[in-house]
Structure 1
Amino acid sequence: MPLVALLLAVALSLTVTLELWNPYTAIAPAVFGYLAGRRSVLARPGLLTFAAMAVVCLLLTLVAGRGLWTWLSQLATLAFAVGVPWLVGRYVRVHPTRRHRLAAGRPIGAGAARGGRPGAAGRAVSDRR
């Protein structure tokens, strides 16, 4: 369902301008892109949706009689205004424990497990002193 909302936001942006970049409609695709990445279980439907949007933008550009520079502008806008927020949303979904550990100020990784309890390596360092 989040991808449907994303498609609707991009379609409404296309009704305003064919280049997809308009200060009045730029926020909605970015927000819906983030939410789609955050709420989608699999990455494949999102990638297929972006591919479909790129093909639809190419067809609209050809039907409107504009040059391919308009399509490249659309691709750049899709990549940065929709794709990057989608990737950020996917990262937040896939790595929720990292975000919570960083918010709590706790260290991340295998070094955190060893740093809290000195074992043989900790004793070896203290014996050298």
Structure 2
Amino acid sequence: MGLFLSNDYEEVMSRLVEGLPRPYGPHVLLKLYTREETTEGGIMLPESVREEAVYQGMVGMVLALGPNAYTGEEFKHWQKPCVKDWVLFRPNSGVRFNDQNVPLRLVFDDCVLAPVKNPATITR
């Protein structure tokens, strides 16, 4: 079975039926962004291409914040992301894993760099 490629928050949460992995400490749990099935020009992307792009991306949807995320003095003037926000994170940071075929990444709070309005516009 391939990766679960939906970017819809409700679909992702219903997929994680056995419970969302809850981050410890200063971690942020992200659902990795998945490219759409077709390009703007109408070209269908194979599932294998979409799956590979998931792991090359730098955008994720916040699913959960650890209890100590953004609590340090260094974050006093930072905007704290909220659940369902799309964010840009440092490439190659954190731990990538799949839970029930949902592509996830667990990163430290200081690896989340900026909010993203439209994840489809972000490329390397």
Name the structure with the higher strand share.
2
Name the structure with the higher helix share.
1
TM-score (norm 1): 0.23
If you compute each CA radius of gyration, which structure gives the higher value, 1 or 2?
1
TM-score (norm 2): 0.24
